[in-house]
Structure 1
Amino acid sequence: MTKPETEWNLIREKPPGILQLYLGQIIWLAAIPALGTYYGTTQVGWSLPGSSEIVKLTPESAAWMAGLAWLAMLAGVGVMGWAVQWMSQTFGTKPNLTQSTAFSCYTAFPLFLAGICGLYPSLWLALIAGTLAASASAWLLYTGLPTFMNIPKEQGFIYASSILCIGLVVLVALMITTVIFWGMGIGPEYISVIK
């Protein structure tokens, strides 16, 4: 985050192995929002405006949702790594899947870190943290891709925009999958507690 130019070159030249990347970093980074949200929704809860009730999730329901969210984040990093590698052919670069997955992981780091805000479920906190994290990830993507792929900044802008669009498609696909599961009856179970 503080010296992206140096780090992108280092990651391109000496990326960790794909297994090392997943076992050493991605599974732990993806656990931050999953565990934070599990704790926040089962122990802290949230209240609706004008209500004296605190709403929480049952521990079993929250565990299922946190586990599925964790798996979705692991898959999302892999899909985005594949997309970075796939799109690279268009721009005349040839990173391997490990390099592309590493780039995807490090670009998403602010989003993973924002998951700490799940400890305290609040709409405004989620909106502020999500906006800041998405902005930081977009900044890393747009500034880092030309350096990482060793291409001109003009091509990097088009490449980064394409990757951002693919990321939005992945996000919408996850949302649709969630709606389908909830429609099948696999959704959260709520507990209401009077303050």
Structure 2
Amino acid sequence: MNIERLVARARSIVLQPREAWPAIAAETDSITGIYRNYVIWLAALPVLGVLIGTALFGIHVPILGTIRIGFGTLLAQAVLSYLTGLLIVFLLALVVDALAPTFAAGKSRIQAFKSVVYAITPVWLAGALNILPWIGALVLPVSAGAAVYSVYLLKLGLPRTMGCPEDKSWGYAITVVVAGIVLSLAAGFVTSSLSGADRSLGPATASVTPSAHFDKNSPGGKLQAWAEHMATASRKMEQAQKSGDSADQARAAREMIGAVVGADGKTRALPPKRLGALLPKTLLGMPRSDYSTERNPVMGIRISQAKARYRAGPDDLRLEITDMTGAKGLLSIAGFTAPGEARETDQGYEKTYRDSGNLVHERWNRARGRGEYAVVIAGRFVVKAEGETKDIATLRKAVESIDRSALAELASPHSG
């Protein structure tokens, strides 16, 4: 690695992007070379910032105080975040390349990779601020500004690297950003889940060969099945890229995202009104208000939700039912890695555990009389109550007011 060249490139793309992009487009380099000389170094900045800052100073939560996390846990999370970040860069490059014909651009994987890598540079640089907790108030606005600037850099770069018309560059850039948001959210969920798996499963997960396998319903079995699904989706993506068929490429991209979050591509999220029918008109003597339902299909990830508010006197509760069928693979993995987590302070507590086979999460703030109680039912439905009330038992009763047998029936293959 040439440190002077790396610094010069980062400075030029941030401060002089109009001059930098033509030079970048004309460079002859390989994806491996760019990874080795640029990506692996800058992508490490936000990860190291969070790792060092959290290890030294903890995480400050208003009212509750400072949370201290073991270094082993932090390191596992950091390694997974770093590797996932490197993967996301490549996946986004595939998206840029696959979308090229749609925006009258020329297909080129190396140019697509350049577009993503150099446009995202401001985000990587801003991420280094996480190492300084005393400027925490600045991290969010600076990071948000860096993200917006990265979108602008991508818009400037796509006409030079991919050859798209100027009038299509905004649409091209925004479409790529949407894909990036979906991938980042999914990756964040996977990383937080797998970091727990790393602690509980230990080195055994790394030593499994293709001829060995875990029991199907064991934690390792779930992780292995997820990894196999990812491998299959990756092979389909490669085949689609070679075919040159834009429809196949778009389909493969959706399947890749589905594999990341554990979607099977077959099970459909229920119509939200069917979930809404389970929300009571009166809850613990409180009338229902602010009732709403919605469905959000984003790049193959299907999620439906129904929610309502219940108020009377000092009590103010929100009850919601979410069908997470588009990411139920993640719920399954989280179900094996999360139970047993707990922390308590003078102000309250938070814990995750299993009750009758269902994953349960509780959080309660004694000082504010506010909390949350959530249960995962049938491996896909999340029923959650949150708000201000006298105790956690009230929130538990609110969740128990939802007919679990009805939800289980809705999850059956014959339920439409």
Q: Shorter-chain TM-score: which interval?
A: 0.7 to 0.9
- Return the offset for 1:98: 1.6
Unmatched runs of 5 consecutive residues or more in structure 1: none
Which residue of 2 is the match for residue 65 of structure 1?
77
> Partners in 2 of 1:12 and 1:125 — Cα distance?
34
- Return the offset for 1:160: 1.2
> Partners in 1 of 2:25 and 2:165 — Cα distance?
16
Range moving further from structure 2, 89-98 or 25-34: 89-98
Contact 1:55 1:192 in 2 (8 A): no
Contact 2:123 2:150 in 1 (8 A): yes
**Counterpart of 2:29 in structure 1: which amino acid?**
P
Range moving further from structure 2, 94-103 or 111-120: 94-103
> Partners in 2 of 1:59 and 1:190 — Cα distance?
17
Corresponding residue to 2:45 among 15, 32, 48: 32
Which residue of 2 is the match for residue 81 of structure 1?
93
Q: Is structure 2 residue 154 aligned with structure 1 residue 141? A: yes
Query: Against the structure 1 CA distance between its residues 179 and 32, is the aligned structure 2 distance closer, same or farther, given a 3 Å change threshold?
Result: closer
- Return the offset for 1:73: 0.8
Which residue of 2 is the match for residue 108 of structure 1?
120
1:146-181 Cα offsets, whole Å, 9 max, x none, are 233333221112211211121122122213324654
TM-score, normalised with respect to structure 1: 0.86
Which residue of 2 is the match for residue 97 of structure 1?
109
1:33-69 Cα offsets, whole Å, 9 max, x none, are 1111110111122322235x43222110110011011
Q: Percent identity?
A: 27
- Return the offset for 1:21: 0.5
> Aligned residues, how many?
192
Unmatched runs of 5 consecutive residues or more in structure 2: 1-13, 197-333, 346-416
Q: Is structure 2 residue 337 aligned with structure 1 residue 185? A: yes
Normalized per residue, the structure richer in helix is: 1
Between 1 and 2, higher relative CO (CA 8 Å, sep ≥ 6) is seen in: 1
Query: Against the structure 1 CA distance between its residues 179 and 38, is the aligned structure 2 distance closer, same or farther, given a 3 Å change threshold?
Result: closer
> Partners in 2 of 1:179 and 1:28 — Cα distance?
23
> Partners in 2 of 1:10 and 1:143 — Cα distance?
13
- 1:51-62 correspondence runs (5 A): 51=64, 53-62=65-74
**Counterpart of 1:26 in structure 2: which amino acid?**
V
Question: What secondary structure is seen at the aligned counterpart in 2 of 1:75?
Answer: helix
Question: What secondary structure is seen at the aligned counterpart in 2 of 1:47?
Answer: strand
Give the alignment's Cα RMSD to 1 decimal.
2.6
Question: What secondary structure is seen at the aligned counterpart in 2 of 1:77?
Answer: helix
Decide which structure has the larger Cα Rg and report it: 2
Query: Against the structure 1 CA distance between its residues 27 and 82, is the aligned structure 2 distance closer, same or farther, given a 3 Å change threshold?
Result: same
Which residue of 1 is the match for residue 384 of structure 2?
none
Normalized per residue, the structure richer in strand is: 2
Query: Against the structure 1 CA distance between its residues 186 and 99, is the aligned structure 2 distance closer, same or farther, given a 3 Å change threshold?
Result: farther
> Partners in 1 of 2:52 and 2:26 — Cα distance?
39
